[in-house]
A and B are shown apart, each in its own frame.
Chain A
Amino acid sequence: MSTFTVSTRHAERHTTIVSVAGQLDAHTASDLEQAIQTQVLANNVRLVIDFAQLDYISSAGLGVFMVFIEQVRSMGGDIKLAAMQPKVHMVFDLLGFHVLFDMYPTVDAAIGAFPEIAL
């Protein structure tokens, strides 16, 4: 019933862009969870979630970010949220998630927020 797709790509500054589209709810949250889990296991912990195509998010969808944030940060990475539609942004805002997560108007802004890695 609910349509949801998730795709990942690597971007500059060793970031990984996780693009979500459609409706993120209890039925589709596990898809996202799996996608992020894969990246974390591959040690890709500089994550930018691209919300541009996401129409709806439920509590279960929000829970996914909560699950990973501490682990990702302890590994020296972060989950940055980007390009939210106003309605989705309002949900994050109401819940106070903006306190926990950095939110950016665009994906590029989010990428830019990651510091350069000195190799």
Chain B
Amino acid sequence: MIKIELDIDGSAHADGDMATTVAIVAGGTGIVAFVAYVVLLLLATAGSQQLHQSLLHIPVVMSAGVVVVSLIYLFAALSMRRRMADVTFEPVASALSVFAISSLALLLVSAVLPLSFVDGMPNGWLSVVTASVIAVGVIGVTIGMATAIVRILLTRPHRWTRRNLIAIASLLAVQWIAEAIGADWAHAIGILSVMAGALLTLISIRRMNWVVTLTLDKKVRLLWLALCAAFAVIVLFALMGAAEDTVAARSVGSFLYGAVPMVIALNVYALIFIVRLFGAVLAALPNSGIVDRRSNEVESLSYLTRLIADSATTDELLASVTRLSQGVCRAHGAWCETYDTSGVQVVSTQLLDRAYVTSLQADRELQRLVMQVTTTTRFDDLLQRLPTSPAAHIMRSLIVVPLLQHHRRAGSLVMMSTVPYGFDRDDVRLAAAFGDTVSVALDQARLSAASAERERMHREFEVAQRIQASLLPSAAPRIPGIDLNAVMIPASEVGGDYFDYVTFANGNHGVIIADVAGKGVPAALYMATLKGVVLAAARTANGPADLLRRVNATLFGSMERSTYITIACVEIDTVHGSFTFARAGHTPSLLRSGEHVRSVCPQGMAIGIAGASTFDAQIVEETIAVQAGDICLLTTDGVTERRNGARTEIQLDAISSVIAQADAVSAANVVRQTLAALDGHAGGADAHDDITIAAIVCTTHDSPSQPAS
């Protein structure tokens, strides 16, 4: 026993491989020692010679000792091979059953096989072998059981467990030595030792609370196994007998001299453990239902959480929840229905035919009852509640769990029982917890779908904005004596502003600036269309008014009634030193000639509101001679209507004063200064419209255009 102690201590850190090696070596050594023992004993007792007179006496005793030590090591190593984190049902159950079966097998062997003893020693080779087998069997079973119990005790030890076990081992050793040397006080020591050992064992196994958490089924099995094991111990007692003249006692006594009391003592301790275990299981039996329920609940809720994470669709989730709730509440059937504009949908059923559940919808009373509950509700006797409902004859009691999505009733989870009062308060509580969890999951599903949609929209807007930016010219054409620059700053989303440089049929360059009414994707699509139309029409257009007529003729009719496009167009005639303006409903352009700033606003109506007959008659051109240092500024109403927090609009006058003072060094400069003035006006308020500014500067020399920002 001391060896077991040390071994267990040591192999608490040893790994499984080490334990396996020890078990193999110990087992091998044991078998070799056992065979040696039998052979030596046969040789020693050949010719009816007494063993203790034989020369082989010492080797025989030694080999028996080796067998016992090997057995101790073997069992210790075997039990240590798999580490036990906590006492669980399986190892205890297997230890008890192995113990019971081996004991009964030993009973059978000792009863069936003939044995004859002469002077305390087996007589004849058959008796020698049988006695040896019985002795090793009894010792082995006893040590095995002892090892298992020690292991169980050490897995859940308390302060004194370790010390108690060492004390018991020491008592056993003293008892054996006293018996072996045949001292007069051996018997008294034996009784004292067994009493002390029994007490220590009882103290050591004080904690048995692991039994409480077992399920009812396992408790019942453990109860039976404990009974069998107790019976097996009694069998072993009977084999050994209080009197030492039983077959097994003689076998053990002849095998290991003086070991009988020690084996009996060990079995007494084992019996104490088994009885204690039996008592603990019996005591824990009444609350098994509650324990089962609790563990079931905890498992179900954590399983539900996993389901929610794993379920790809809402229907899938609801189907799993239906199955789970039916199992946990032990309902005779369950279903889940959802409500939407098209009516009641049966999403999933459990233990019930879907067609049957669907047919229940015809039962108006029942349907009303289910839909009207606002919290998880139990109906103990449905027949009493709905005496005329045909379904109430089958579904005698119900639990209805309302499922909510965004504070709105989205469906119901219904559990039914075929008996009245089929559910208790715990079922309702659990069902309510399920309902809450599912409602949260439904909300989350809705939110994540909405946020995925937002995310997708946002990405599309980004792409649209990039595409729109790519539709704008990246560099201005190089025109002698003219510097061009333009910039478009989109508002938060895609907009309908547009500017471009065009070349007319006569080879003159022009600048066009446009604003599609409205914002967002429709405006951006019109803007893209507009670019194509403008570039195609410009090639054959004789001047800005002609260009705008062609654009209107192309677009009118294909545009939405509620929308229109305003355009301002300037043709730059470097030969005659003049700008020709045309305007289709657009914000007036500004022209600085010398010191004077004027707004240029020739007659014309917006594109897309009238057909060619009206539009063409309305539009007129205005040609103005320009000279070096003159500046023309084209803007969209995002500029003139740019509001600050107080919602005052920047007037054309304000822009006029900007270009009145502007440096006519480069068009980029003019654009930059205009933007700076706008920023000052808006006071940090977000632009609610796109801002587009195009500047044409008459320079005396050829100046390169630079980007505005």
Contacts and interface: CB of A to CB of B under 8 A. Distances in A.
B614 A99 contact: yes
B561 A95 contact: no
B561 A94 contact: no
B690 to A, nearest CB: 12
B529 interface: no
A99 B562 CA distance: 16
Given A60-B518, A95-B606, A96-B604, A67 B562 contact: yes
B637 to A, nearest CB: 8
Given A94-B588, A96-B604, A96-B605, A63 B614 contact: no
Contacts of A64: 562
Contacts of A97: 605-606, 609
Given A94-B585, A95-B566, A95-B585, A100 B610 contact: yes
A64 B603 CA distance: 23
A64 B601 CA distance: 25
Contacts of A60: 517-518, 562
Contact of A66 (B561, B584, B585, B587): B561
Contacts of B618: 96, 99
Nearest to A87: B649
B560 to A, nearest CB: 8
B609 A96 contact: yes
Interface in B554-612: 561-564, 566, 584-588, 601, 603-606, 609-610
Given A95-B605, A96-B606, A96-B618, A63 B563 contact: yes
- Quick one: which of B564, B601, B604, B614 has the most chain A CB within 10 A? B564
B601 A66 contact: no
A96 B585 contact: yes
A34 interface: no
A5 interface: no
Contacts of B293: none
B518 A94 contact: no
A59 B586 CA distance: 12
- Quick one: which of A64, A67, A94 has the most chain B CB within 10 A? A94
Contacts of B564: 59, 62-63, 66, 95
Nearest to B585: A95
A59 B517 CA distance: 5
B409 interface: no
A63 B587 contact: no
A26 interface: yes
A62 B610 CA distance: 14
Contacts of B604: 96
Contacts of B587: 94
A108 interface: no
A66 B663 CA distance: 42
A31 to B, nearest CB: 15
Nearest to B604: A96
Nearest to B523: A59
Interface residues of B, number: 22
Contacts of B585: 94-96
B586 A70 contact: no
Contacts of B561: 63, 66-67, 70
Given A67-B562, A94-B586, A95-B564, A26 B605 contact: no
A63 B518 contact: yes
B519 interface: yes
Contacts of B603: 96
Contacts of B606: 95-97
A111 B601 CA distance: 32
Contact of A100 (B518, B519, B563, B609): B609
A59 B588 contact: no
A54 to B, nearest CB: 15
Interface string A78-107: 000000000000000011110110000000
Given A95-B585, A96-B618, A66 B562 contact: yes
A28 B319 CA distance: 46
A55 B519 CA distance: 21
A100 to B, nearest CB: 6
A95 B515 CA distance: 12
Interface string A40-71: 00000000000000000001101110110010
A94 B601 contact: yes
Contacts of A94: 566, 585-588, 601
A63 B605 contact: no
A68 to B, nearest CB: 9
Nearest to B588: A94
Contacts of A100: 605, 609-610, 614
Given A99-B605, A99-B614, A62 B588 contact: no
A50 B459 CA distance: 43
A63 B566 CA distance: 13
Contacts of A95: 564, 566, 585, 605-606, 609
A99 B563 contact: no
A64 B564 CA distance: 12
B610 A26 contact: no
A108 to B, nearest CB: 28
A105 B484 CA distance: 42
A94 B585 CA distance: 5
Interface in B184-236: none
B382 to A, nearest CB: 50
A94 B618 CA distance: 12
Nearest to A65: B562
A94 B518 CA distance: 17
Contacts of B610: 96, 99-100
A67 B609 CA distance: 10
Contacts of B586: 94
Contacts of B562: 60, 63-64, 66-67
Nearest to A91: B637
A63 to B, nearest CB: 3
A94 B563 CA distance: 15
Given A67-B561, A67-B562, A62 B605 contact: no
Given A63-B563, A96-B604, 18 more contacts: A59-B563, A60-B517, A60-B518, A60-B562, A63-B518, A66-B562, A67-B561, A94-B566, A94-B588, A95-B564, A95-B566, A95-B605, A95-B609, A96-B609, A96-B610, A99-B614, A100-B605, A100-B610
5 contacts: A62-B564, A63-B562, A63-B564, A95-B585, A96-B606
Closest 5 CB pairs of A and B: A96-B605, A63-B562, A59-B517, A95-B585, A95-B606
